[in-house]
């Protein structure tokens, strides 16, 4: 067995059933390989959003990372980006801290010194200090709410202090780090009067690409469409509490939306990023019915269909390998492409029971599609020589398939809806044309 990456076909997985997905394809079962996708999750660096970048999505915030030195080490990549200059600070723990927990008493002093440093030398007093703690404090059972209250009392100037939990230990838990950090961000919002013409889009830490969703809302009379990443100031961010409703575009924001509905009285509706034109249209129609607005999809839908048709006409037998470092669910995207009549040779993703429905349908249409798990140790031996794909999608797929064209499709700005489908199809077509020129 040594020397070969473990894989299963869609048909094999479908036959085994949702409750018997092979352990090698699931997260949290064996040793973990540092594939590009694993690193993008565990060590996001300058690309993508991990807890550190996400915690600083709130305007005018800074972060104090309280941890052993190893946890903050790779932050130097992010710190070198202009928008993060003077926003990361560190309180390094030593072995005595670990044994005695004495570092907790030092946090208020450190927060005061950071705020004083920024106010005095840099002339920019932060509105929020995020305190990022890691696995050590997870195991010590640290009560960070209490520590943050002590920090706010020590500052005594209204600066908010909130905890961010960078607990890799809880990746498969009920509240994994990327769910929790979203809850932290929106917990800063305070109840305020509702503005019926305000809507929030919550889901990611970079904005949704300006597209048809915003246009539909504007045409329906919405005046303010807010996203955390487009708020220029902390005050503007606080106005998100006035929203009439929230649109959730990423399941990791569902818990935050639920919190906001309970605490601020803001209801929410969830929209999924899908790559099937007809299903996208059906979702928008259901959305319009639910919120009581009328929207005209015809032009956007036609444009997306045309883009799919044009790609199909230019490259009718196109075959894909799809990774998971991209702005799409690789299993959903694979299914949509197969439905359009393309082929999907390989998927590099981490399967979860909730994604089984895609694999189950894929097994009917493309039973031989191979599925690899990015976390599986044998991916060390992955060899693409057996693949017949013409193009790969996703940044990690480029790593596995260096000899075929690639569309990374992993920008911070999030594609969505018909516009997302249209742009993806056009980008694939352009990339293939250039590769074959």
Partner 1 sequence: MKGLRKVLTPFAPDQSGAVSVLYGLGGLIVIIDAGGCTGNICGFDEPRWQDVRSAVFSAGLRDMDAILGRDKLLVSKIADACKRIDASFVALIGTPVPATIATDYKALKRMLENEISLPILTVPTDGMKLYDEGEALAYKALADEFVSKDGGLEKIVLGKTPLTYGSDFEDNALDDYRRIGASTKTVAASASGIEAAKKLGVSYEVYSSAAAKIAGSIPSGKVLVCHDEVFGKTLRDKGIDCDIATFFTLHDEIRKACDRKITEEDEFTDLVMNGGYDIVVADESLKPLAEGFGGMWIDAPFFALSGRR
Residues of the shown chain interacting with partner 1 in the complex, contacts defined by CB under 8 A: 1-3, 6, 28-34, 38-39, 41-43, 45, 67-77, 79, 88-95, 98, 103, 106, 109-110, 113-114, 117, 134-136, 138-140, 166-173, 375, 377-378, 380
Nearer to partner 1, 361 or 370 (CB): 370
* Phi/psi of residue 160, nearest 5 degrees: -85, 145
Q: Closer to partner 1 at the Cβ: 103 or 390?
A: 103
**Closer Cβ to partner 1, 173 or 341, answer by number:** 173
Q: How far is the CB of 350 from partner 1 (least distance, A)?
A: 12
All residues at 6 or more sequence positions from 100 whose CB lies less than 8 Å from its CB, including other chains = none
| CA quadruple 116, 120, 126, 127: dihedral sign | positive
**What is the number of other CB atoms lying within 10 angstroms of the CB of residue 270?**
16
In Å, how far are 164, 241, 405 from 398, measured between CA atoms? Answer: 32, 41, 8
Spell out the residues 6+ positions from residue 175 whose beta carbon is closer than 8 angstroms to its own. Answer: 183, 255
Measure the CA–CA gap between 400 and 416, rounded to whole angstroms: 26
By the 8 A CB rule, do 36 and 399 touch?
yes
Between 129 and 240, CB nearer to partner 1 = 129
Q: Tell the smallest beta-carbon distance from residue 362 to partner 1 (Å).
A: 26
Give CA–CA dist 311/427, Å, rounded. 10
> Which residue is it, tokens 């979702």?
283
Query: 105 CB contacts (<8 Å, ≥6 apart)?
Result: none
Smallest separation, CB 135 to partner 1 (Å): 5
Question: What are the start-end ranges of the H helices in 264-414?
Answer: 277-291, 298-314, 330-339, 356-365, 395-400
Q: How far is the CB of 44 from partner 1 (least distance, A)?
A: 8
Which of 50, 330 has the CB closer to partner 1?
Answer: 50
* Least Cβ distance, residue 400 to partner 1 (angstroms): 12
Measured from the CB atom, is 96 or 149 closer to partner 1? Answer: 96
For partner 1, give the closer residue by CB, 29 or 279.
29
| Token reading at 91 | 């309180």
Q: Pick the closer one to partner 1 by CB: 45 or 367.
A: 45
The label of the residue with tokens 């996400």 reads: 54
Judge whether 186 and 256 are in contact, CB under 8 Å. Answer: yes
CB of 161 to partner 1, least distance (A): 16
365 touches 27 (CB < 8 A):
no
Q: How far is the CB of 307 from partner 1 (least distance, A)?
A: 35
Nearer to partner 1, 108 or 394 (CB): 108
- In the complex, the smallest distance separating the C-beta of residue 90 from partner 1, rounded to whole angstroms, is 4
The residue (of 76 and 157) whose beta carbon lies closer to partner 1 is 76
Query: How buried is 400 (Cβ within 10 angstroms: 0-12 exposed, 13-18 middle, 19+ buried)?
Result: buried
Element (DSSP H or E) covering residue 91: strand 88-92
Q: According to DSSP H, which parts of 141-186 are helical?
A: 144-155, 177-186
CB of 98 to partner 1, least distance (A): 6
Query: Mapping DSSP to helix (H, G, I), strand (E, B) and coil, where does residue 62 land?
Result: strand
Task: Tell the smallest beta-carbon distance from residue 392 to partner 1 (Å).
Answer: 18
């Amino acid at each position: 067995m040594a020397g070969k990456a473990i894989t299963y076909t869609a048909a094999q997985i479908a036959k085994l059933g949702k409750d018997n997905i092979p352990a090698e394809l699931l997260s949290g079962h064996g040793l973990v390989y540092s594939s590009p996708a694993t690193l993008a999750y565990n060590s996001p660096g300058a690309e993508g959003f991990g807890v550190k970048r996400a915690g600083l999505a709130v305007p005018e915030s800074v972060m104090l990372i309280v941890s052993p030195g190893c946890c903050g080490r790779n932050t130097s990549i992010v710190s070198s980006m202009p928008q993060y200059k003077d926003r990361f600070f560190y309180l390094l723990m030593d072995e005595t801290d670990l044994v005695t927990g004495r570092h907790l008493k030092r946090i208020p002093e450190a927060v005061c010194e950071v705020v004083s440093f920024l106010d005095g030398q840099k002339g920019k007093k932060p509105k929020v200090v995020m305190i990022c703690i890691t696995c050590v404090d997870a195991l010590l059972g640290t009560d960070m709410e209490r520590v943050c209250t002590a920090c706010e009392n020590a500052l005594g100037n209204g600066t908010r202090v909130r905890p961010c939990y960078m607990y890799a230990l809880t990746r498969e838990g009920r509240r994994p780090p990327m769910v929790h950090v979203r809850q932290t961000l929106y917990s800063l919002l305070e109840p305020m009067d509702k503005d019926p013409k305000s809507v929030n889009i919550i889901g990611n830490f970079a904005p949704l690409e300006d597209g048809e969703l915003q246009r539909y809302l504007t045409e329906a009379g919405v005046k303010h469409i807010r996203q955390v990443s487009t708020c220029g100031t902390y005050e503007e961010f606080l106005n998100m509490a006035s929203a009439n409703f929230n649109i959730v575009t990423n399941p990791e924001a569902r818990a935050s939306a639920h919190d906001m509905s309970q605490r601020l009285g803001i209801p929410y509706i969830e929209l999924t990023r899908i790559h099937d034109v007809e299903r996208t249209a059906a979702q928008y129609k259901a959305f319009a019915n639910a919120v009581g607005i009328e929207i005209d999809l015809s032009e956007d839908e036609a444009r997306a269909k045309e883009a799919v048709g044009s790609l199909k006409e230019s490259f009718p037998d196109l075959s894909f390998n799809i990774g998971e470092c991209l702005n799409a669910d690789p299993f959903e995207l694979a299914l949509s492409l197969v439905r359009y009549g393309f082929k999907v040779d390989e998927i590099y993703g981490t399967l979860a029971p909730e994604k089984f429905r895609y694999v189950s349908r894929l097994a009917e249409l493309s039973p031989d599609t191979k599925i690899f798990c990015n976390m599986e140790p044998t991916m060390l031996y992955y060899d693409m020589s057996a693949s017949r794909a013409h193009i790969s999608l996703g940044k990690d797929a480029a790593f596995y398939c260096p000899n075929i064209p690639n569309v990374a499709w992993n920008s911070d700005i999030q594609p969505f809806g018909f516009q997302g489908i249209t742009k993806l199809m056009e980008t694939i077509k352009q990339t293939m044309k250039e590769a074959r020129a």
